[in-house]
């Protein structure tokens, strides 16, 4: 059977968050767009990542609210949790959002949606089972999948990843988690709050990319809730039993065993580059994905890569969306010089308390700027709204140079993900700390922690002997 030949302006491979953004934007701006997807529309974020994880976290947070007894007159109690029904909530959340990412919606935007796997057959052509696509530009947006490490005895078919853990209907009695990054920490807390025993194992410490002063506050919260943390350990072997799993763990020369009912692997991600025929297209790859330059171009000038599949790119959904904007500027507006800039890279781990980061951490700033760095900290326990709501576990740390240019900020505490937006704007706009000091923050809000931290930057100078002398002199002039 002969294949239908298509000659669109753009062929997007992968209908995750990045691919969908490119397809929708380009089509609405008048380009002829073909979108290929071999699995579910919406990709990892909608189906197995951000959306289901946040729905599960919301259920865990609601359960934890019942347990709290930190406000007088309100007695805490153990909630009645139906674990299987919680999963109904998770999938109802996915199903509510899914129409926005559906083939029907994108077809209504004039995108030619083809639900088939595609692979390059040469530098200019991608073929599916029924189509031959010769596009002017190709955008690879195939994302990433969970990495499962090679450990003695580990059976990949008997472990869970983010792609399968949400399908578990029976409550795990003891969930073992390999990996203390954002996914591992979020799933640990969610499952613990929903009544599971949870143990987390990592070769280093939890949340290694975040400000470690802030991570300590998260660590204390997890331990207080009963999550067992095995940090700086090596899992040397896995033993699968009938309805059980055991890990052999090494720490400081000691070997011990921890047993559980389920094993979740959250040990990182690997780019989806297999079966795309990239060698036939002259597209170079490395261990991290498709090799791209700052303009997201591959070694084949017709082919770009965005999101998780782009080598060296931060693996966040919002980065895939950011990449899509860069591509749209290039292909729709002729801004071929448009390139990525991660100076104001921002991310959030949605544990409780949340932890958020934008720009440089203190360690990164000192490595880049030496002694030309100043750090100010302000605690949530000095914020009136936090005191009233008993959510005082948290702090903000702002990193600047000596002249006050904001280089980065780290927040741990309630709604840190919402609070970090101000500092993302400040870093991307190259603002100085005085701009935040001068803003009017509504009272009483958690947002005041940002203004108070900014004010603290000036405190040593403002209330110095030199300033007092100036005030004394000015007083003489009335």
Given pLDDT bands bounded at 50, 70 and 90, which one contains residue 476? confident
- Is the pLDDT at 477 greater than 90? The verdict is no
CATH of the domain at 386: 3.30.390.30
Q: Which residues contact 462 (CB under 8 A, 6 or more apart)?
A: none
Assess whether 379 and 456 both reside in one domain.
yes
The number of distinct structural domains making up the chain is: 3
Same domain, 324 and 450: no
At 304 the three-state DSSP class reads strand
In a domain, 235, yes or no: yes
pLDDT value of position 358: 98
Confidence of residue 461 (pLDDT cuts 50, 70, 90): low
Concatenated DSSP letters of 409-470:
EEEEETTHHHHHHHHHHHHHTT-BHHHHHTS---SS-TTHHHHHHHHHHHHHHHTSHHHHHH
- Percentage of the chain beyond pLDDT 90 is 95
The secondary structure element, H or E, covering residue 254 is strand 254-260
Q: What CATH number corresponds to the domain at position 217?
A: 3.50.50.60
Sign of CA dihedral 262, 268, 274, 276: positive
Residue 298 domain-assigned (yes or no): yes
At 462 the pLDDT is: 55
Residue 92 in any domain: the answer is no
pLDDT at 471 over 80: no
By mean pLDDT, which of 70-74, 289-293, 296-300, 467-471 is the weakest?
467-471
Residue 283 and residue 263 share a domain:
no
Residue 180 lies in a domain: yes
Across residues 123-128, what is the average pLDDT? 98
Residue 115 buriedness (CB in 10 A; 0-12 / 13-18 / 19+): middle
Q: What would the mean pLDDT of 198-221 be, rounded to a whole number? A: 97
pLDDT in tens, 386-442: 999 999 999 999 999 999 999 999 999 999 999 999 999 999 999 999 999 999 999
3-state secondary structure of 64: helix
Instruction: Report d(CA 348, CA 356) in Å as an integer.
Output: 4
Residue 470: band (very low, low, confident or very high) from pLDDT cuts 50, 70, 90:
low
Separation in Å, CA 193 to CA 83, 104, 231: 11, 38, 21
Residue 474 has pLDDT above 90, yes or no: no
| Same domain membership, residue 246 and residue 226 | yes
Domain identity same for 191 and 256: yes
**Do 207 and 183 fall within a single domain?**
yes
State which of 288, 312, 333 marks the end of a domain: 333
CA distance linking residue 337 with residue 18, whole number of Å = 20
Q: Say how far apart CA 461 and CA 261 lie, in whole Å.
A: 58
Together in a domain, 324 and 406 = no
The residues, ordered by sequence, that sit 6+ positions from 75 with a Cβ below 8 Å of its Cβ are: 69
Report yes or no on 305 lying in a domain: yes
Do 170 and 239 fall within a single domain?
yes
**pLDDT band per the 50, 70, 90 thresholds, residue 289:** very high
Are 354 and 307 in the same domain? no
Q: Which of 333, 359, 381 is the last residue of a domain?
A: 333
By DSSP bridging, strand 137-140 and strand 144-146 are unpaired
378 with 442, same domain: the answer is yes
Q: Does any domain span residue 313?
A: yes
Average pLDDT in the chain: 95
123-127, 441-445, 453-457, 463-467: least confident range: 463-467
Sign of the alpha-carbon torsion through 421, 382, 437, 457: negative
pLDDT > 80? residue 466: no
- Considering 298, 333, 368, which residue would you say is the last residue of a domain? 333
Q: Are residues 441 and 417 in the same domain?
A: yes
**Which range of residues forms the domain containing residue 392?**
346-465
Q: Judge if 19 and 139 occupy the same domain.
A: yes
Residue 339 domain flag: no
Q: Looking at residue 259, what is its pLDDT?
A: 98
Distance CA 282, CA 416 (A): 43
Which residues, other chains included, contact 287 with Cβ-Cβ below 8 Å and sequence gap of 6+? none
127-144 pLDDT, tens digit each? 999 999 999 999 999 999
Q: Is residue 52 part of a domain?
A: no
């Amino acid at each position: 059977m002969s294949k239908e030949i298509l000659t669109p302006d753009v062929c997007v491979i992968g209908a995750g968050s990045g691919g969908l953004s490119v397809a929708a934007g380009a089509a609405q701006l008048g380009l002829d767009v073909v979108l290929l997807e071999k699995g579910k529309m919406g990709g990892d974020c909608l189906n197995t990542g951000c959306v289901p994880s946040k729905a599960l976290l919301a259920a865990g947070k609601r359960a934890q609210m019942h347990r709290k007894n930190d406000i007088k007159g309100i007695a805490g109690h153990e909630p009645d949790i139906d674990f299987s029904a919680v999963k109904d909530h998770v999938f109802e959340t996915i199903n509510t959002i899914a129409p926005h990412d559906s083939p029907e919606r994108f077809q209504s935007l004039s995108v030619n949606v083809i639900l088939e796997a595609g692979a390059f057959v040469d530098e200019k052509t991608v073929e599916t089972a029924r189509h031959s696509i010769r596009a002017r530009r190709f955008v690879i947006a195939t994302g990433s999948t969970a990495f499962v490490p090679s450990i003695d005895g580990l059976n990949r078919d008997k472990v869970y990843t983010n792609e399968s853990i949400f399908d578990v209907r029976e409550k795990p009695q003891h969930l073992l988690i390999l990996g203390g990054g954002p996914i591992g920490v979020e799933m640990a807390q969610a499952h613990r709050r929903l009544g599971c025993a949870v143990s987390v194992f990592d070769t280093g410490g939890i949340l290694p990319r975040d400000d470690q002063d802030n991570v300590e506050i998260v660590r204390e919260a997890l331990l207080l809730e009963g999550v067992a943390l095995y940090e700086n350990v090596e899992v040397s072997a896995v033993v699968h039993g009938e309805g059980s799993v055991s890990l052999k763990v090494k720490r400081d020369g000691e070997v011990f065993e921890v047993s559980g009912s389920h094993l979740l692997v959250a040990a990182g991600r690997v780019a989806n580059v297999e079966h795309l025929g990239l060698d036939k297209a002259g597209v170079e790859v490395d261990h991290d994905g498709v090799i791209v330059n700052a303009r997201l171009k591959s070694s084949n000038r017709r082919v770009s890569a965005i999101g998780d599949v782009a080598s060296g790119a931060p693996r966040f959904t919002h980065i895939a969306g950011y990449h899509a904007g860069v591509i749209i500027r290039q292909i729709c507006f002729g801004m071929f010089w448009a390139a990525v800039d991660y100076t104001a890279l921002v991310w959030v781990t949605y544990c409780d308390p949340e932890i958020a980061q934008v720009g440089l951490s203190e360690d990164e700033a000192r490595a880049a700027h030496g002694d030309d760095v100043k750090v100010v900290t302000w605690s949530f326990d000095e914020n009136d709204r936090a005191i009233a709501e008993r959510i005082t576990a948290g702090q903000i740390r702002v990193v600047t140079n000596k002249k006050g240019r904001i280089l980065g900020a780290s927040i741990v505490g309630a709604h840190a993900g919402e609070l970090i937006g101000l500092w993302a704007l400040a870093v991307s706009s190259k603002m100085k700390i005085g701009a935040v000091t001068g803003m009017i923050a509504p009272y009483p809000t958690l947002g005041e922690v940002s203004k108070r931290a900014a004010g603290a930057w000036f405190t040593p100078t403002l209330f110095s002997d030199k300033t007092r002398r100036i005030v004394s002199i000015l007083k003489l002039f009335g």
